[in-house]
Structure 1
């Protein structure tokens, strides 16, 4: 996230009596991204990502995020949360690992060949993901902003950040919600 202060807002969602699934989160981000007024309301910064917190379904955490050209998240996961995200404007690239990694107790892993996945997500395209999904999201455009909608359940208990050199993935830090305030 950028140094910009998050702004609370509400997006028309229905809360469920049970925990939302990743498929339900994907449906939510799809419906939310289809709201042109909401997407246009996001302030865009030419240098850093901006975001607005949304009301997600069933107690989930949701965000509308603006991506200036050339920005990205770096490698990370969302720990025990399932999630979904969808590009509302522009194009985002997701690099991910198709491998189950140990959740705790390691600092460096050597990745096997063939675990890399790459997706280009243009406006209207998104994906759901399960717990401990390691990925990075990038706006590789040199001229255009991208905007996306994200939802996670349970609300993010932590984010683990990684560095990657070739086939070596290294755990660099663990962030908790109090770090984002």
Structure 2
């Protein structure tokens, strides 16, 4: 999770959700609408050294964040512990690298990925991505001189995040983070 904490923002939760919470599409709609909120986006303090964040109230009990990305920063490879989610870029540009494969969730430390599973998307100007519960990716601000800002939402709220390292086709589970480590 981000490096510098800012108190929660009292943004009201938006429209509905089904009995099992908001869909990935609803989370993406929320992320895009929130990314268009110029006053909120400019309220995020930006740090040249590390990511900053504000916790938001997401729709239907989801977990949401406004995150600032200094030039050259990224998340590293991770998943969202079985939560579905979405994110949208509010300022600058982010690159998402993802895997088009469902990984087993337990019982492994190292996997060799097949050819053709890598995907890459460049997101700017309110563009975003929605994803299901088995999504593995990393998000990067590849700019040498411009901060990026994005909005992220997850449902159910993140139960954990698995962090991975990658060397060529080899993906290695490195650690499992729990919510108390980033809240």
Q: TM class by shorter-chain length?
A: over 0.9
Query: In the TM superposition, what are the counterparts of 1:19-168 in structure 2 within 5 Å?
Result: 19-168=21-170
C-alpha contact (below 8 Å) 1:15/1:59 kept by paired residues? no
Alignment root-mean-square deviation, CA: 1.1
Deviation at 1:15, TM superposition (A): 4.9
TM-score by length of 2: 0.96
TM-score by length of 1: 0.97
**Residue 6 of structure 2 corresponds to residue 9 of structure 1:** no
Deviation at 1:169, TM superposition (A): 0.0
> Structure 1: how far apart are the matches of 2:82 and 2:91?
28
> Structure 1: how far apart are the matches of 2:18 and 2:104?
31
- More deviation, 169-178/4-13: 4-13
Unaligned stretches of 5+ in structure 2? none
User: 3-state SS of the aligned residue for 1:8?
Assistant: coil
Unaligned stretches of 5+ in structure 1? none
> Structure 2: how far apart are the matches of 1:101 and 1:137?
18
- More deviation, 157-166/15-24: 15-24
User: 3-state SS of the aligned residue for 1:23?
Assistant: helix
C-alpha contact (below 8 Å) 2:2/2:67 kept by paired residues? no
> Structure 2: how far apart are the matches of 1:4 and 1:31?
24
C-alpha contact (below 8 Å) 1:79/1:133 kept by paired residues? no
Deviation at 1:11, TM superposition (A): 2.2
Deviation at 1:17, TM superposition (A): 5.5
> Structure 2: how far apart are the matches of 1:180 and 1:121?
25
